[in-house]
Amino acid sequence: MEPAVLDDIIRRLLEVRGRPGKQVQLSEAEIRQLCGASREIFLQQPNLLELEAPIKICGDIHGQYSDLLRLFEYGGLPPHANYLFLGDYVDRGKQSLETICLLLAYKIKYPENFFLLRGNHECASINRIYGFFDECKRRFNVRLWKTFTDCFNCLPVAALIDEKILCMHGGLSPDLHNLDQIRNLARPTDVPDTGLLCDLLWSDPSKDVQGWGMNDRGVSFTFGADKVAEFLQKHDLDLICRAHQVVEDGYEFFANRQLLTIFSAPNYCGEFDNAGAMMSVDETLMCSFQILKPADKKSKFNFGHATPAKPGNASGGVNVFGSTTTAKPGNTPAGVKVNARTVILSILYVFLPRHQSMMIIALIYRG
């Protein structure tokens, strides 16, 4: 792909910063170039990415393009920061095309600094139902949606940061016994209904089960804290980082802070009062969180009051709101109560194996 063409695409996609909902109408030929060039890069790189800190990690975006631009505003535009996104770029939100096009453009521009994993919505049978197909058909045609499908089928599915933090979209699998199994997954491929690849994109942690349990989504499994601890100890890891579920404060710890759920789409679907989060991991594996409160279109970004959190209570006592998707069409997350708290800065201490102390800092932006 010609560098000048790529730079112009990125420029136009960034021009709408500060104008939520403003569309960027790329040409079909430009989008096809993005899909083709990024697909080649995905296949050249391993299915289990081996990355180094410092890096910023983001969860679900779901077509909330203005919030993606806010993430880049706070974290710094590539290549000033390295990024890892954990999947679910399309569906639900109104601007899946802008969202995925900017992400693919940055992947092409900075292939060694910018990384995208596959989510369960980067799958034709899911995004055919939950909005991306309709957006492609309305703004372009079905053929372009199929081109995206060919690209999504080549996305990597997991990342390992400094051999200590394992990242994926969904979670663990009863079929996952060693990391080489992830490396050896074939691509391109659709997402099967069962098995390792399915679980990596679909499974969920649950405090209500020990071992493996049934998943309310109707696909894959839930897993208990015991399975998290067992897996980390066996593979000499410190943390599992995943997305896939809406959490009130944008991030939530599980299993004695051995697993983290991160979700980066604030005010999800316009129906939730959740914050979005982005995690920064520095060279010493110190983790910090930037929290995006739902944007108020009538005011500029500003800071609020600071309230300390209790040491060791890494999640702040938040609860998972619900699933971002289920296998059954039309089954959307349940409603939630509004969170009226104005916590802006929390300093939390997390003790993980092999590290004397990992400081968790949450910096919350209110729009």
> Cβ of 74: how many Cβ atoms within 10 Å?
17
The structure tokens 């649950």 sit at 206
Identify the CA nearest to 156 among candidates 131, 194, 126, 189.
189
Task: State the DSSP string of 123-181.
Answer: SHHHHTTSSHHHHHHHHS-HHHHHHHHHHHTT---EEEETTTEEEESS---TT--STHH
Beta carbons of 361 and 288 less than 8 angstroms apart: yes
The sign of the CA dihedral 259, 264, 265, 266 is positive
Radius of gyration from C-alpha coordinates of the chain = 19
Catalytic-role residue among 121, 169, 244, 355: 121
Q: Which two structure tokens, joined as six digits, stand for 79?
A: 């290549």
Residues near 186 by Cβ (< 8 Å), separated by ≥ 6?
none
Q: Is the peptide bond before 20 cis (omega within 30 degrees of 0)?
A: no
Residue 62 among the catalytic residues: no
| Alpha carbon distance 4, 25 (integer Å) | 18
| Alpha carbon distance 305, 287 (integer Å) | 22
> Cβ of 211: how many Cβ atoms within 10 Å?
12
Beta carbons of 79 and 110 less than 8 angstroms apart: yes
Beta carbons of 151 and 38 less than 8 angstroms apart: yes
> Cβ of 363: how many Cβ atoms within 10 Å?
17
- Please identify every residue annotated as catalytic: 121
